[in-house]
Chains A and B, each alone.
Chain A
Amino acid sequence: MRAAIILFPGTNRERDMAIALERASGRKPALVFHRETELPTGTDLVVLPGGFSYGDYLRSGAMAAHSPIMAAVRAHAARGGLVLGVCNGFQTLIEAGLLPGGLLKNATLRFLSMDCILRVERSGTAFTNHWQQGATFRAPMAHGDGNYFADDATLDRLEGENLIAFRYVDEHAQPTSAANRNGSARNIAGIFSPDLRICGLMPHPEDLVDPLMGGVDGLPMFESLAAA
């Protein structure tokens, strides 16, 4: 699996992502600067990592969505290539129109940095193959604007088409409001595109891939991608 990580000005979780991808696939991902106009030949997976692209001084991800490299990312997605966006990367995919909805300020109006529990809402995708349907896992979150929002019609469609990837749940795997720290609509933490080739989520599975750092809960995502 050949992965390319996109570097926008202000991206800051590219190293975490590179570690996770290399650990699962045995192959170092390419780092692609935002001013590039082409992806490395043979790229299977494009990853938009976390950070504060352009300082998030406009809406999070809004500036990055217009970077030169994004034309190549769109073309890659149109060809059915895999795209993963985490945190600021998820925000950028939404701003680029590659995923629906919006990410508002956390309902607490504070930056939230803590472990949450995610439930796998759809197994059997390139991103979730190594989890059972309904499996739960810990993932750290670290964001100020992670409150997923969409109108009811969009939410109904996402649910109807089975495009919810992950939900925030409690220790009993229930999507309670207490487990939904950032206030996301219907506890949504991550979603898929209709062709299941694009996935965006707010928490950071890439930060739990090593027992020494507190666990390997996030590793199945990267093992899934490595095998995809």
Chain B
Amino acid sequence: MTETPLPLDPGRAPALAREFGLKPEEFARALAILGRTPSLTELGIFSVMWSEHCSYKSSRVWLRTLPTKASWVIHGPGENAGVIDIGDGLAAIFKMESHNHPSFIEPYNGAATGVGGILRDVFTMGARPIANLNALRFGMPDAPRMKQIIDGVVRGIGGYGNCVGVPTVGGEVNFHPAYNGNPLVNAMTVGIAPRDRIFLSAAAGIGNAVVYLGSKTGRDGIHGATMASTEFSADSEEKRPTVQIGDPFAEKLLIEACLELMATDAIVAIQDMGAAGLTSSSVEMAGKGGVGIELVLDTVPQREDGMTAYEMMLSESQERMLMILKPGREAMAQAIFQKWELDFAVIGHLTDTGRITIRHKGILEADIALAPLESEAPLYHRPTVETPKQPVLDAAAIADPVGILPALETLLGSLDLCSRRWIWDQYDALVNGQTVQRPGGADAAVVRIEGHKRALAMTTDCTPRYVFADPEAGGVQAVAEAWRNLTAVGARPLAITDNMNFGNPEKPEIMGQFAAAIRGMAAACVALDFPVVSGNVSLYNETQGVAILPTPAIGGVGVLEDAAQSVGLALSPGQDLVLIGAMQGWLGQSLWLREIAGQEAGAPPPVDLAAERATGDFVRAQILGGAIAACHDCSDGGLLVAVAEMAMGRGCGVTLAPAPDGIPEHALWFGEDQGRYLCATGQGAALVAAAVAAGLPAVLLGRTGGEALALADGRSISIATLRAAHEATLPLLMGS
């Protein structure tokens, strides 16, 4: 008789399946695949592989519509991370991933393991990580636990990144009440590998050893992927044991050991054990390779006594990898891992059965055909409802209650615009000695590639309030903003990773946000030649029925052939300040409207993608040609906020030219019109002429010098005053 795993009590199995997050019809599908009642371990495997987090069952139909190809794309979505050709025989490997739910429950470890997980996604492909970035959304600081969450998340990101020795070079932060019960922690890693030395995850070679690497397996994080696939309720605190604990020291050793082994030709395939740990790594590697896999769990390095097969397969203990080795290379590989004091264990081998079989203590614990586990995975075309369009606001109909300069001072100290120094002062941004543009100094981080002149520019961007007001326009804007920030340092934007953070996809209005945001992103990606090469989806970001603002965070990567050509944003005395791009005075969804006029209203500013492309291509060419000394895009807060940010960079004042007629003054200075760059140059008239000759709107906006920001009519405010307002907010809130 054929051996089968010990089935669950058929009467109890449906209830347990529900507890594990499987819908009744999904459980029925699992029963059909197996032809019998599953064992506990098998039910665990089905439930995590078919969780939203691992299967993308609600989002896949939409993700497929994103453009993913360009001549420089080596590997798009589907691998552990995206891979692009950046010249000089090099590839950049990058991805962004969320750790929202764990970071809410246990901020320090939730954020820390978010960083650790995304690092592994990148170095598992053969890259040395050269930079970390992040995209954070917090609730209002006076919301319950929120200061503790902010503090813990920042400490966790720093605690992990600083220790592994990868510089944290950039990021973004927003505050909004919609995140009070569900903050977002998205972490991005960028790495560099030789273009011809990329490691993939598809297993191959019947009989080849399956090797476990890294830290030992404990009981932490069991069913973390399932937790990430449900809404929060009042009992979320009880889910604390599903949060993993990070060990950045082990990760540092794992990076060095893996890169040392990768320099040999011993590895067939390798993947990190991320969400759903040993289950997802073994299922995905074997599934992609079209082979079977047999695991014998007795040899899995274990941190605790008496662990069951179910616990080992579902554990999300950190700093672990799974690898397929070529025959005869075990001893050599083991020696490298012993040198780095890491566990190395052969825990199974590849088979020709097309099944995953799991044995423990001589007992068959699971036996599942791999093909249907993937091909029969649930896929939902969930119903969508479009977000109603907001009216375009008439700026002239909105009174300015305080005047231009008082509004500027207030805005610069407001939560969404204040200095992030309190945060980045806790992140090591310089380790490895290649950071050309540091946090706060430029629109994108710039990190040189060791031993090369070449550098990568990196940024994370999204304006969730725009996406909420108009998901499609907001999706366009998020991608355009990333492209613009890379352009503003002189880089050629190449590709993006996306981190789609949304609410409960079973609600049509949420799924409508998702679908429209993807539509907008896709349009921008096509227009800007800026494909998506990797990404992550985080749904069910709701607490007690309240959804977050839809937040498709974009991580953009661009290249500079010579790091020395990059520019920052700080003004110096004796320069002309030139604005390139059209002035409309669009106040809808602006921070001025929210912070000064007290309204979150109106349609968000539209992005004209053709103008965006033409303006950016012109500005980049001028930067690379040496005509522009400093550059800053106009985004949150509008034109005057951008001028002030450039002025505060080195404490250099600026006197502005008279405002053009036809636009109310407050709309002119604080409207968040898109597709605009402020450029500091020694030759303002020549730059304006060149822009106009290229068919682009451009004006000489001001002249730098002195110690104040001065309007043409004589009103002025000192840079020191602006700086004080800008720098005080976060230290005051966080008590340091």
Q: B165 and A13: CB pair below 8 A? A: yes
Nearest residue, chain A, Cβ from B341: A9
| B20 close to chain A: CB less than 8 A | no
Instruction: Answer whether residue B163 sits at the interface, using C-beta atoms and an 8 A cutoff.
Output: yes
Can you list 9 A-B contacts with CB-CB less than 8 angstroms, sorted by A residue number?
A10-B163, A16-B431, A111-B158, A111-B426, A111-B428, A113-B429, A212-B563, A213-B436, A213-B448
CB of A52 within 8 A of CB of B428, answer: no
A113 contacts B425, CB within 8 Å? yes
A12 to B248, CA, bound (A): 12
Name the 3 nearest CB pairs between A and B, nearest first: A12-B165, A55-B249, A16-B433
Closest to A57 in B: B249
Other-chain contact of A13, B339, B340, B424, B431 (Cβ < 8 Å) = B431
B544 interface hit (Cβ, 8 Å): no
**Interface members, chain A 171-228 (any B CB < 8 Å):** 204, 206-207, 209-210, 212-214
Closest Cβ–Cβ distance, residue A90 to chain B (whole Å): 16
With contact pairs A111-B159, A112-B425, A113-B162 given, residues A15 and B432 touching in the complex (Cβ less than 8 Å): yes
Cβ proximity bits A98-118 to B, threshold 8 Å, 1 near / 0 not: 000000000010111110000
CB-CB < 8 A to A149: which residues of B? none
Chain B residues, Cβ within 8 Å of A213:
430, 433-436, 448
Query: A residues touching B (Cβ–Cβ < 8 Å)?
Result: 9-10, 12-13, 15-16, 19-20, 33, 35, 50-52, 54-57, 108, 110-114, 140, 142, 144, 204, 206-207, 209-210, 212-214
Give A20 to B158 CA distance when docked, in angstroms.
25
Question: Told that A55-B163, A213-B435 touch, could you supply 17 new A-B pairs with CB distance under 8 A?
Answer: A9-B253, A10-B249, A10-B252, A13-B431, A16-B431, A19-B450, A50-B431, A52-B248, A54-B249, A55-B248, A111-B159, A111-B427, A112-B425, A206-B433, A209-B433, A213-B434, A213-B436
Interface string of B238-277 (1 = CB under 8 A from A): 0000000001111011000000000000000000000000
Encode B158-175 as 1/0 by CB contact (under 8 A) with A.
Answer: 110011110000000000
A113 x B427 contact (CB < 8 A): yes
B57-79: contact bitstring with A at CB < 8 Å (1 yes, 0 no)? Answer: 00000000000000000000000
B430 interface neighbour in A35, A108, A207, Cβ under 8 Å: A207
List residues of chain B with CB within 8 A of the CB of A110. Answer: 155, 426, 736
A114 / chain B contacts, CB cutoff of 8 Å: 425
Contact assessment for A12 and B426 in the assembled complex, using a CB-CB cutoff below 8 Å = no
Given contacts A111-B159, A113-B162, A212-B448, contact A142 B430 (CB under 8 A): yes
Residue of A nearest to B566 (CB): A212
Inside 8 A of A52's CB, which chain B residues have their CB? 162-163, 165, 248-249, 252
CA A10 – CA B249 in complex, angstroms?
6
A142 engages B425 (CB within 8 Å): no
A142:B431 contact, CB within 8 angstroms:
yes
Cβ proximity bits B420-448 to A, threshold 8 Å, 1 near / 0 not: 00001111111111111010000000001
Task: Determine which of B155, B426, B430 lies in contact with A140 in the assembled complex, contact meaning CB atoms within 8 Å.
Answer: B430
CA distance A210 to B162 in the complex (A): 22
A207 to B440 Cα, complex, angstroms: 18
Most buried by A among B159, B162, B450: B162
Asked if residues A204 and B430 are in contact (CB atoms below 8 Å), the reply is yes
Task: Say yes or no: A212 contacts B247, CB within 8 Å.
Answer: no
- Report if A113-B424 is in contact (Cβ < 8 Å); known contacts: A52-B252, A57-B249: yes
- Chain B, interface residues (CB within 8 Å), range: 35 or more
Smallest Cβ-Cβ distance to A17: which chain B residue? B433
A207 contacts which chain B residues (CB < 8 A)? 430-431, 433
Task: Decide: B438 and A214 in contact? CB cutoff 8 A.
Answer: yes
Q: Does B564 contact A (CB under 8 A)?
A: yes
A144 to B248 alpha-carbon distance, docked (Å): 15
Q: Are A9 and B249 in contact (CB under 8 A)?
A: yes
- B335 → chain A closest CB, angstroms: 13
Contacts A10-B252, A113-B427 given; indicate if A16 touches B340 (C-beta within 8 A). Answer: no
How many angstroms from the CA of A142 to the CA of B163 in the assembled complex? 11
Beyond A9-B340, A9-B341, A108-B736, is A212–B564 a contact (Cβ under 8 Å)?
Answer: yes
Closest Cβ of chain A: how far from B580's Cβ, in Å?
A: 26
The interface residues of chain A lying within 8 Å CB-to-CB of B341 are 9
Contacts of B435 in A (CB 8 A): 213
B:328-356 near A, CB below 8 Å: 339-341
Q: Residue among B248, B249, B250, B433 with the most chain A CB within 10 A? A: B433
Q: Given the complex of chains A and B, what is the CA–CA distance between A31 and B40 in angstroms?
A: 50
A214 and B448 CA atoms in complex are apart in Å by 13
Most buried by B among A12, A13, A16, A57: A12
CB interface residues, B 437-487, toward A, < 8 Å: 438, 448, 450
A56 to B162, CA, bound (A): 12
Contacts of B162 in A (CB 8 A): 52, 111, 113, 142, 144
**Cα A218 to Cα B207 with chains together (Å):** 55
A12/B164 contact (C-beta < 8 A), A110-B736, A142-B430, A207-B433 known: yes
Residues of B within 8 A of A144 (CB): 162
A45 CB to closest chain B CB (Å) equals 18
Residues of A within 8 A of B564 (CB): 212
Complexed CA–CA distance, A227 and B249 (Å): 36
By a CB distance below 8 angstroms, the chain A residues around B425 are: 112-114
- Distance (whole angstroms) from the CB of B303 to the closest CB of chain A: 15
Report A175 CB to chain B, min CB distance, Å: 21
Query: Which residue from chain A places its CB closest to the CB of B432 in the assembled complex?
Result: A15
Instruction: Identify which of B155, B341, B428 gathers the most chain A CB atoms within 10 Å of its CB.
Output: B428
How far apart sit A10 and B432, CA to CA, in the bound complex (Å)? 14
CA distance A51 to B155 in the complex (A): 17
- Quick one: given A13-B165, A16-B431, are A55 and B247 in contact (CB under 8 Å)? yes
Select which of A10, A56, A142 is within 8 A of B253 by beta carbon.
A10
Task: Name the residue of chain B whose CB is nearest to the CB of A214.
Answer: B438
B450 with A15: CB separation less than 8 A: yes
Contacting residues, chain B, for A112 (C-beta < 8 A): 425-426
CB neighbours of B436 from chain A (8 A): 212-213
Mark interface residues in B559-570 (1 if CB within 8 Å of A CB, else 0): 000011000000
- Give Cα distance in the complex from A142 to B433, angstroms: 13
- B85 smallest CB distance to A (angstroms): 24
Within the complex, the shortest CB–CB distance from A113 to chain B, in Å, comes to 5
A57 to B245 CA separation, bound complex (whole angstroms)? 14
- Inter-chain CA distance A197–B434, complex, in Å, is 30
Most central of A56, A112, A142, A210 by chain B CB within 10 Å: A142
| Closest B residue, CB atoms, query A209 | B433
Query: Measured between C-beta atoms, what is the minimum distance from A206 to chain B in Å?
Result: 7
Establish whether residues B736 and A51, one from each chain, have CB atoms under 8 Å apart when the complex forms.
Answer: no
Q: Which residues of A contact B252 (CB under 8 A)?
A: 9-10, 12, 52
Docked pose: A54 CA to B159 CA in angstroms: 14
A19 to B434, CA, bound (A): 10
User: A2 to B253, alpha carbons, bound, how many Å?
Assistant: 27
Report the Cα distance A111→B248, complex, angstroms: 15
Assembly CA distance A34 to B631 (angstroms):
46
- How far is A214 from B440 in the complex, measured between Cα atoms in Å? 14
User: CA of A15 to CA of B448 in the docked complex: distance in angstroms?
Assistant: 13
Cα distance A209–B424 in the bound complex, in angstroms: 22
Chain A residues with CB under 8 A of B424: 113
Smallest Cβ distance from B410 to chain A, in angstroms?
27
List, in ascending order, chain A residues with CB within 8 A of B339's CB: 33, 35
Q: Which residues of the partner chain A approach B165 to less than 8 Å between Cβ atoms?
A: 12-13, 51-52
Shortest A214–chain B CB gap in Å is 7
Instruction: Give the nearest-CB partner of B439 in chain A.
Output: A113
Contact residues in A for B247 (Cβ distance below 8 Å): 55
Question: A144–B162 Cα gap in the complex (Å)?
Answer: 10
Bound form: Cα–Cα A13–B165 in Å: 7
For B438, list chain A residues within 8 Å (CB). Answer: 214
* Chain A residues with CB under 8 A of B428: 111, 113, 142
